Amino acid sequence: ELLDTTKLEKKAAVIQNEMEIVEELFRKMVDENSRKAMDQKEYSKKYNELVERYKKAQDELTEVEEKHQENKVRKDSIDTFIDRLKSQETILTDFDEALWTSTIDKVVIENDITFYFRDGTKIKQEIL
């Protein structure tokens, strides 16, 4: 549930639809400008507004796609971790080096201890 990408996929579809609408508006505006005399200042203003609208949608789509990819990588990492836990023959009672290395990316010790997990999670623990 935490990594469900359905909402991101729906949002991407809405953004792609917006981009298609803007592209169609571009085509119509350019076609109209070629068929009849238009005030070129007004044409440039509308054209620039459409460029901004398209760029905004494009940037938003890029952001959504990056988040979708991050979630996919995290999901794959979590699935690998769960599979490793399920493959254990007994309940884990001792340190398991393979499980540790498949879960933890790095540990940084400064004024506190920070655990960096392979799925991108970060946990800080105060040193007592």
Report yes or no on whether pTM surpasses 0.85: no
How far is 115 from 125, CA to CA, in rounded Å?
8
Q: What is the DSSP secondary-structure string of 86-111? A: HT-SS---S--HHHHHHHEEEEEESS
Q: Which residues of 1-26 are buried (b: 16+ CB within 10 A; e: fewer)?
A: eeeebeebeebbeebeebbeebeebb
pLDDT tens for the chain, residues 1 to 128 = 667 788 999 999 999 999 999 999 999 998 998 888 888 898 999 999 999 999 999 999 999 999 998 888 878 877 877 887 788 777 777 887 877 888 888 999 998 999 998 877 888 888 87
